[in-house]
Structure 1
Amino acid sequence: MTENAPIVASACTDAGDLPNTVAVNTRGLSVSQSREVWSEAVDSAYCDMDVDWPRPLSAFAAAIVARPMGEVSVSVVRADPHTVHRTPAMIAADPTDDLLVCLITKGSASIVQGRRVAVLDSGAFGFVDAADPFVVTGNTPFEQVVLRMPRSQMSARLGRSLEYSAAQRISADSGMGRIASRLLVDLASHDDRLDSRAGATVASATLDVLAAAIDQTGAVSLTDRAHHEDLRRVQRTMLAHLDDPDVTLTDIARDVGISVRYLHKLFATAGTTPRNWLYTKRFERAQAMLSDTDLPVGEIAGSLGFRDVAHFSRAFRRHCGSSPTGYRAQHR
């Protein structure tokens, strides 16, 4: 990031003269205050995420300025090393269809989504989809530009599925990657106070350039695409039978038209097992029902394929860290 990037100098402020702008700096705050303020800042600017620090008892310096521009928002972040991660439970509690483009101008960071990992530095960028779990780690003190945008705005522009493009490194060395990187840095470095019409025009043009850069990244093989579509069909079928404790993997494989062996291979390629994936989905739904409805715990258990409440309660505690009634009390 250039030295004149609009990072706020005060300890912790709202930029009152810029509506909808998030502006925070943890400098001068205590160890505990800096972490609390930063956790709230990233939630406000992006989406519900947890933050971890490699040195939890040391001072933590970070600053962010995020401002809207049409349908997107642009932010500049300078921070000491730390990690943010978005879990399935957070997605259930705070659903969003936004994409987060991360461009590293100084230092190094990594983004992880699904089975893909991209290390970013020297102006390289990639994006994560907030509708799926992800991890972003600042490996060193770093500076980055983040563009937050609606998923629909990018998917409409791409020549291929977003699912094949997340967590891929796009180099700033040449081609459309270089053009897109320079454009994002320029947008973040200069606060031009555009009116709403001009902001919308610039945002649309920026998304066009980003889409062109993403489309130039490596193509996905037909085999990988077929496996991905098969996995989605299996998962949809499993979700359709979520309330039936008698359905087996053999039943699911037969309904989809594949072998049980191939079904296991699909989940292994995604880094999980059918059982683990199904339990995660069951407890995501259980958490949502406990926090959003007044349904009895026994009724929730039955709707998720558990034959008795005791089994459900034990499994829920192992997976979520508290009893169903305790979780409901904490999230109402």
Structure 2
Amino acid sequence: MTTHFSTSTVEAPVRLEYWRDVICRTYVSVNCAPLDMALDAHVSVHALGCAQLSDISSSAMTYARTAESIRQAPSDDLQLCLIQGGSVAIAQSDREVLLGSGDIALYDAARPFSLHFAEQYRSLILKFPRPMLAARIPDIDRLMALKLSGDSKLGLLVNSVIRESVRFGEPGDELIAAQLSGSVADIVCVAIENELSERRRGDLRQLGQIERIKRFMINHLGDASLDIALIASECHIAPRTIHRLFASEGTTAIRWLWQQRLSTSYRLLAEGRVKQVSEAAINCGFSDFSHFTRAFKKAFGIVPHSLLRRLH
């Protein structure tokens, strides 16, 4: 179902209040500061499996998600902005990036950010549950507020896929919608991860070690016996070195592995890649199904069966 909202449907004195409510319900709780006295804004929202695709246009505006709004209305979604007209400055953490027409960037609803549209703009926004992208790019957090140029080959591909997804409309079959959202996420992640590989050229030896360990764990998610000793043996790296490498990223190898198992199980269920919850659990290295269900609910706030029910 496509939902449309427009400030033209309400009286001028209440337009800002109306628009802020639309933005908060559609995306995430933010503060809205119009830069034009005559607020004129429209958005069409399309369901795309577990993802959401929207086409939004507005007069000049600044949106800010603060620590206070995060406390009051937590969200773990990742959002991708594709500019169709105008420009936007996206600031998050210690980065700020300016996007023009065709350019793309990700930002994280779990951390403060600001979007500054200095002029009339139009953009496409893809909102993903974090596990959909985290299962594809394990270090997705490092990719926020990085520009993927709309003029690059991969940027042009992402532009084409997202624009065509809007024109395609909403599939009547929920399973097709889920599979389509997964395909879009695949293409987005290939393009965005390419940006990551270009930006991370620091300590190549340390980077090579931790990437090799992560790749091994991803390739063996279904092995319930994975532990530090086995990982160290297979990767020919001392256990203490593994602890040090992951500590530099603020985590541990086993906690990272656990997060990837949960994110991947979410992806398998949400995109209809498995037919039973037990299949997702086994594929991701969970042998105790009750434990899996409890961990899944704690991580995502829903039980795994609820994702399957949406598709059947």
Both structures adopt the same fold (TM-score exceeding 0.5) = yes
Shift of 1:230: 5.1
Tell me what 2:140 maps to. 162
Q: How is 1:283-322 mapped onto 2 (pairs within 5 angstroms)?
A: none
User: Is 1:198 aligned to residue 179 of structure 2?
Assistant: no
The answer to whether 1:68 aligns with 2:51 is no
Contact 1:22 1:44 survives alignment (8 Å): no
1:175 equivalent in alignment to 2:153: yes
In the TM superposition, what is the alpha-carbon distance from 1:228 to its structure 2 partner? 11
- Matched residue SS, 1:172: coil
Unaligned runs of 5+ in 2: 208-243, 252-312
Query: How far apart, in 2, do the equivalents of 1:229 and 1:144 lie?
Result: 38
Partner Cα separation in structure 1 for residue 66 and residue 167 of structure 2: 31
Output the amino acid matched with 2:10: L
Give the residue type in structure 2 aligned to 1:203.
S
Cα shift at 1:93: 1.5
Residue 199 of structure 2 is aligned to residue 219 of structure 1: yes
Partners of 1:117 and 1:167 in 2: CA distance:
6
Residues 47, 170 of structure 2: 8 Å contact kept:
no
Residue equivalent to 1:152? 131
Offset of residue 163 of structure 1? 2.1
Q: Displacement of 1:113 after TM fit?
A: 0.6
Unpaired segments of 5 or more residues in structure 1?
1-17, 234-332
CA shift in 2, pair 1:215/1:177, >3 Å: same
- Report the CA distance shift for 1:175/1:24 in structure 2 as closer, same or farther (over 3 A): same
Say which SS state the counterpart of residue 198 (structure 1) adopts. Answer: helix
Extract structure 1 runs of 4+ deviating beyond 4 A. Answer: 223-233
C-alpha deviations, 1:59-115, integer Å up to 9, x for none? 100000112111100000011010111111111121111001010011111211111
1:26 partnered with 2:20: no
Matched residues in 2 for 1:27 and 1:171: separation? 33
Instruction: Give me the whole-angstrom Cα distance separating, in 1, the residues matched to 2:171 and 2:120.
Output: 29
2: CA distance, partners of 1:212 / 1:176:
8
Q: Within 1, Cα distance between the matches of 2:246 and 2:87? A: 30
Q: How many Å apart are 1:162 and its aligned residue?
A: 1.6
The answer to whether the 8 Å contact 1:22/1:41 transfers is no
Give the root-mean-square deviation of aligned CA atoms: 2.4
Deviation of the 1:208 alpha carbon: 0.2
1:17-44 superposed Cα distances (whole Å, 9 cap, x missing partner): x2xx442111253333111111011111
1:149/1:109 CA distance change after superposition, 3 Å: same
Of structures 1 and 2, the larger Rg is shown by 1
* Secondary structure at 1:157 match in 2: coil
Letter in 2 for 1:40: D
Q: What is the aligned residue count?
A: 211
1:206-228: CA deviations, max 9, x gaps?
A: 00000000111133244698999
SS in 2 for 1:66: strand
Residues 73, 147 of structure 1: 8 Å contact kept = yes
CA contact (8 A) 1:97 1:150 kept: yes
TM-score by length of 2: 0.63
Q: Answer 1 or 2: which has greater helix percent.
A: 2
TM-score of the two chains, using structure 1 as the length reference: 0.59
2:164, 2:89 → 1: CA distance?
22
- Partner residue, 2:117: 138
Distance in 2 (CA, whole Å) between partners of 1:227 and 1:82 is 42
| Corresponding residue number in structure 2 for 1:110 | 89
Measured at CA, do residues 37 and 152 of structure 1 come closer, stay the same or move farther in structure 2, by a change above 3 Å?
same
